[in-house]
Structure 1
Amino acid sequence: MANVKIFTDSTSDIPRELTEELNISVVPLKVHIDGESYLDRVTLSPSEFYQKMGVVQELPTTSQPSPLDFAEAYREAIQEGATEIFSIHLSSALSGTYQSAMLAKAMIEEENPDVKIITFDSKTVTYAAGIIVVAVARAAKEGKSLEELVSLAEKVRRTEGLAALVDTLEYLQKGGRIGKAAALVGSLLNIKPIISLNDEGEVYPIDKARGKNKAVSRVFELLQEKVPAGPVSAAILHADRREQAEEWLERVKSIYDVKEGLIVEIGPIVGTHAGPGTIGCLVVPLEL
């Protein structure tokens, strides 16, 4: 019987208790702050990162794992008995991480012809990718085949709804994740941009609203347009906005039949590009 090992990268922002419970291996990206380099969520926690963001001299930068980083992680899994590897990563439109995993796959499959590796571009980021990983890891524990896991990953990616508010589009624009023209939206008086990811995995502003309260209401309207009422898994993603995230979780519970609801801290990598104060809601429909 095949022994499937699930991999992801640290931008999936999966809470540690879930990665441990489901035996998910996480390959970290790096964040560079004022001349110091840190491993995302390994040597720098989200809370430590947001503290540093308040006093940094320059905007932090980020870098992806190398193919050798992935190859080493895959080799370790194979030594521990893995015969199949499913490696799920953030959007290739936002980072070269997926490409690094692809190069590592080619290296390892040449070394180990009996091992099958599938790399999967989630076309999204933070826990919108993480919830795909978690669903796949749970299905793997139930003994689902690699083909069934790929089908499940595609389904979650296709049906999930994500909308987020950023305090400013400045960070996304400076990091090259969004164009200058789009960033101008956020500079208008009291206009709150609402962002998501398109089918190509690119960040884009899906709407805007004047004032915070209207913007929050619009976030939930957009989610309801994407995901109909019914049983769902939901997560509130936040960059140093825990209290607000708790309010959002209660709000999503008033709209949907939430079977599993999480509050997830956006980690240093995504936080570098989205900026402190970002908050979003993720909803995934569940079959009855």
Structure 2
Amino acid sequence: MTKIRIVTDSTADIPRELVDQWGIEVIPLNVVFSENETYEDGVTLSPSAFYEKLETEQAMPTTSQPTPHQFEQLYRSLHSDGAEVIYSIHLSSKLSGTFQSASIAKQSLEDELDIRVIDSKQASYAIGIIVAEMAKMANEGQPVDILDKRLEYLLQETTVYFLVDTLQYLQKNGRIGKASAILGSLLKVKPILSLSKEGEVYPFDKARGPKKAVSRIIETIKEQYGDEPIHIGASHALNEELANELIERVKQECQVESVVITSIGAVIGAHVGPGTVSISCTKATNK
């Protein structure tokens, strides 16, 4: 049986229990508050510590991707441990250079190891929902051809919608993409954002207030997935109440097979800000 390992990065916001359960390797991105103050996302800076720090810091934190050398070290370590195939699934290349770093590392090891570097074109648990499914299947002993088919399907059928309290974080960090079109019209309007097929932030819709925004998201998910079984995950930045509300509403309207709730980590949090909530969905079976 081919030994398969799954690698992702810290922006997937996968709960620690799932990381441990399925043996997922998570490479951290960096959060920089000052020249002398750099942290590893989820390693030396937890989500709770990050949001506490964000309240007291005057300067907006910046983020940076892992280096190709870090990826190469990780891939070599997994190879030494017996890995024959590595799926390395990462944050949208429109939002970070992480995919590029992983691709460079892959090139240096192509003669030694089968490494499949994937641009998820997603962010936060919309990456995690794909990674967790792939890692579960790998642990069950599913072969590479089945994993390839499932991954292709997951990349096509996974969607994410998110609500932010303010667009200032996305704007200041240069990740706002096409959502800039709604900057001037947000007085009492709650923007519903999503990621395009190319992995860029765009304004999906807008609603007057969070309750109407939640209803619009639920309506969209119901239209998209119908009665097919789905996996869902909600990630939040200090807004667990709204995350739980989204989950309960989706469970009422759709055939939910599994649910995950998780915190938005420091890197994604630096770009979306406190109060953000996202809901990620994917089909539980290929059809």
Question: 1:180 Cα shift?
Answer: 8.3
The amino acid that maps onto 1:21 is Q
Which residue does 2:95 correspond to in 1? Answer: 94
**Which residue number in structure 1 is paired with residue 22 of structure 2?**
22
Structure-2 separation of matches of 1:90 and 1:98: 7
Task: Say which SS state the counterpart of residue 56 (structure 2) adopts.
Answer: coil
Could you tell me whether the CA contact under 8 Å between 2:179 and 2:193 is conserved in 1?
no
The answer to whether structure 1 residue 33 and structure 2 residue 33 are counterparts is yes
Query: What do residues 125-162 of structure 1 show as CA deviations (whole Å, max 9, x unaligned)?
Result: 11101111111111111222223222211211211232
Q: State the Cα deviation string for residues 196-255 of structure 1 (Å, max 9, x = none).
A: 100101011111112222112112122223222332111111111112222222111111
CA distance in 1 between partners of 2:219 and 2:25 (Å): 35
Specify the alignment match of 2:267 in structure 1.
269
Q: Deviations over 1:175-214 (max 9, x none)?
A: 1111487264365311111001001010111111122221
Paired amino acid for 2:119: D
The one-letter code of the counterpart of 2:195 is L
Q: Which residue of 2 aligns with 1:287?
A: 285
Whole-angstrom CA distance in 2 between matches of 1:281 and 1:126:
10
Contact 1:166 1:277 in 2 (8 A): yes
Partner of 1:166: 164
Q: Distance in 1 between matches of 2:190 and 2:214?
A: 9
The alignment partner of 1:7 has SS state of strand
In structure 1, the residue corresponding to 2:166 is in which secondary structure? coil
Equivalent pair of 1:34/1:56 in contact (CA under 8 Å): no
Per the alignment, residue 3 of structure 2 pairs with: 3
The aligned counterpart of 2:154 is 156
User: 2:5, 2:83 within 8 Å by CA — same for their partners in 1?
Assistant: yes
What's 1:47 paired with? Answer: 48
> Take 1:25 and 1:252, find their aligned partners in 2: how far apart are those partners?
30
Which string of whole-angstrom CA distances, capped at 9 and with x for unpartnered residues, describes residues 2-60 of structure 1?
Answer: 21111111101111111111011011000012441000000011111111111111111
In the alignment, residue 174 of structure 1 is paired with which amino acid?
K
Q: Which structure 2 residues correspond to residues 140-151 of structure 1 after superposition, within 5 A?
A: 140-151=138-149
Number of the residue aligned with 1:79: 80
C-alpha distance in structure 2 between counterparts of 1:226 and 1:33, whole Å: 40
Contact persistence 2:178–2:200 (CA under 8 A): no
TM-score (norm 1): 0.94
Query: Which of 209, 212, 225 is the equivalent residue of 1:211?
Result: 209
Runs in 1 of length 4+ with deviation above 6 angstroms? none
Question: Relative to structure 1, is the Cα distance of residues 213 and 161 closer, same or farther in structure 2, using a 3 angstrom cutoff?
Answer: same
Distance 1:179 1:134 in 2: 27
Q: Say if 2:229 is the partner of 1:231.
A: yes
The CA distance in 2 between the partners of 1:254 and 1:186, in whole Å, is 35
Gaps of 5+ in 2: none
With normalisation by structure 2, the TM-score equals 0.94
Is the 8 Å Cα contact of residues 46 and 267 (structure 1) preserved in structure 2? yes
**RMSD value, Cα:** 1.7
Q: Judging changes above 3 Å, is the alpha-carbon distance between structure 1 residues 106 and 173 closer, same or farther for their aligned structure 2 residues?
A: same
* Partners of 2:13 and 2:197 in 1: CA distance: 21
Question: Are the aligned partners of 1:163 and 1:222 in contact in 2 as well (CA < 8 Å)?
Answer: no
CA distance in 2, matches of 1:147, 1:121: 19
Query: Which residue is equivalent to 1:221?
Result: 219
Cα–Cα, structure 1 residues 179 and 197, in superposed 2: closer, same or farther, change >3 Å?
closer
Say if 1:239 and 1:266, in contact at 8 Å, map to a contact too: yes
Sort the Cα spacing of 1:272 and 1:183 in 2 relative to 1 into closer, same or farther, 3 A: farther
Is 1:66 the equivalent of 2:64?
A: no
Q: How many residues align?
A: 285
Segments of structure 1 that go 5 or more residues without pairing to the other structure are: none
Partner residue of 2:128 out of 111, 127, 130: 130
Identity percentage of aligned residues: 48
The residue identity in structure 2 corresponding to 1:20 is D
